[in-house]
Amino acid sequence: MRRIDVHQHYLAKHYLDAVGLERITAASTVRSVPQWSAGAALELMDRVGIEAALLSVSDPGVGLETEALTARLARACNEGQARIASDYPRRFGFCAALPLPSVTAALREIEYALDELHADGVGMLTNYGGIYAGDAEFWPVFEELDRRGAVLFVHPTAPAGRGGFAKIASAMLEFPFDTTRAIASFLYHGTAARFPNLRIIWSHGGGAMPYLAGRTAVVSARDPAFRQSGPDRLLPALRGFYYDLTQSVSPPTFAALRALVPDTNLLFGSDRPFAAENQLNSALADFARLDLSEAERRAINRDNALALFPRFGASY
């Protein structure tokens, strides 16, 4: 099966050096990161049947001490990803890192990354210092992305203050919960309706939102400030998003997601290199056991991603 992986991470040495090992591993129980290179990624992709992958920068993103340093690291990561995509155009694309929360810097980087580097989309985190992705503060960014009909890949990070049960890694619970919060922020502020040409991919099956969609729709209708509230507005908005299936193919999780979202909006994701190869193989085995037709498997593994990133189809 020639899969297109929309959730694979760029982990070059210059990024590790700039951000630091402690910050990169803070959300995980693992205190080391795998050796990463485009060559090693390709070897793994060939073993498990991944034809092409979209690279992006994972948590903790590119945020450094100052706006200038953050912008410089975003630019370095995007140029590094662009070189890989240029060297292996049939195998790699990338979602450009944005130097948020600075809107001005992010707009500069969108122009450079999409027009000069030919990025396939852009990426952002679920929150920046507690300001969630759907907040009106980021609307100038979304206005530009909407004008371009761009793809936005949203990856979770820990909530501000690192709340939750401290003895459990943030990646286990707080990451999916923060994706849920970010989705709710898009609907609360009416951001999804305001920018209808913006195509959004939510990581990890949308966190807990598929399971909580009914409750969220009912409770939101009681809040006059919740702009896309109630079953008539909230549920269609959720159906319009895209969701990668990274760590989201266990039968209960997949059933909740599929009950909410059309098959056309489900995408394959690996979370490499943070997901170990045995973890990825286990997820592939779980996916193989799901009651799906070959056409449905092909859509999730490849065809739905081609609708978002048609250049991969042209290169096969």
Neighbours of 188 (CB within 10 A): 21
User: Which pLDDT tens digit goes with each residue over 272-296?
Assistant: 999 999 999 999 999 999 999 999 9
- Are 182 and 128 a contacting pair, CB within 8 Å? no
Q: Report in angstroms the alpha-carbon separations of 249 from 45, 137, 208, 225, 255.
A: 19, 34, 13, 35, 9
> Who contacts 299 (Cβ-Cβ below 8 Å, separation ≥6)?
263, 264, 266
Is the sign of the CA dihedral 131, 248, 38, 86 positive or negative?
Answer: negative
Q: Are 236 and 196 in contact (CB under 8 A)?
A: no
Residue 86 has pLDDT above 80, yes or no: yes
Amino acid type, 199: R
pLDDT at 316: 44
Would you list the DSSP string of 172-224? TTHHHHHHHHHHHHHHHTTHHHH-TT-EEEESGGGTTHHHHHHHHHHHHTT-T
pTM of the model: 0.96
Which domains are assigned to the chain?
Answer: 3-315 (3.20.20.140)
Tokens of 186: 């898009």
Position 34 pLDDT exceeds 80: no
